[in-house]
Amino acid sequence: MTAIELTDRQIKIVEIVKERGPITGEQIGEILNLTRATLRPDLAILTMSGILEARPRVGYYYNGQSGNTLVARAIGKIRVKDVKSLPVVVREATTVYDAIVTLFTEDVGTLIIVDNEGGLIGVVSRKDLLKIAIGGNDAQKIPISMVMTRMPNIVTVTPEDTIYQAAKRLIVHEIDTLPVVRTFALPNGHERQEVVGRITKTTITKLLVELGEGHN
């Protein structure tokens, strides 16, 4: 992962520049009682990451928008393949009853339905299952294929998509889980979406906590 972790000294430099900028490297060094050469790597990191701006003959000043820019850069760089978790999948002949049991045993809210080759067929959420369960149906007899949302209406991501794209899809489509798929072309010209993982709202929340670690 590529979140930028600032050292204590770098944080101090940012504070100084925030308060007194524009300020030269020399002046920052005087305040911190360090030579300019000692500070050079820190200043390089802070300017390269966009937190500080350096203007020749003026000095360093604080880029007020850097907080947002940093977050935007981080989530635009992290890929689905870096953070995806294992998919929890069942076959389409699985009964509603067994699907509900799987929600508990696997501790998930959504199941992904696949064919014998691991190809994506559908998705079933906890509310899909609740709906059928409270309708007075025999959950032991109904196959999950009768209640799932099916292809081609499934919203997916690929391993190469960014985590920003994934999070955006979760929000736009108002869903909790995205199957991660790799697309294969079959000899007959059709395409198969092999399920290789899942991204959930929990994935995104965990990532936010990781990015915030050490800064809060």
Least distance from ligand ADP to the Cβ atom of residue 71, Å: 25
Question: Which chain residues interact with ligand ADP by CB under 6 A?
Answer: 109-110, 123-128, 149, 153-155, 174-178
Residue with smaller CB distance to ligand ADP, 160 or 213:
160
Least distance from ligand ADP to the Cβ atom of residue 27, Å: 54
Residue with smaller CB distance to ligand ADP, 51 or 123:
123
Residue with smaller CB distance to ligand ADP, 3 or 178:
178
Sign of CA dihedral 169, 170, 175, 180: positive
Least distance from ligand ADP to the Cβ atom of residue 92, Å: 14
Least distance from ligand ADP to the Cβ atom of residue 77, Å: 24
Least distance from ligand ADP to the Cβ atom of residue 178, Å: 5
Q: Which residues contact 95 (CB under 8 A, 6 or more apart)?
A: 139, 140, 141, 142, 143, 144
Residue with smaller CB distance to ligand ADP, 177 or 193:
177
**Angle, CA of 44, 49 and 51, to the nearest 5°:** 90
Task: Name the token pair of 158.
Answer: 């690929």
Phi, psi of 119 (to 5 degrees): -80, 140
Residue with smaller CB distance to ligand ADP, 22 or 109:
109
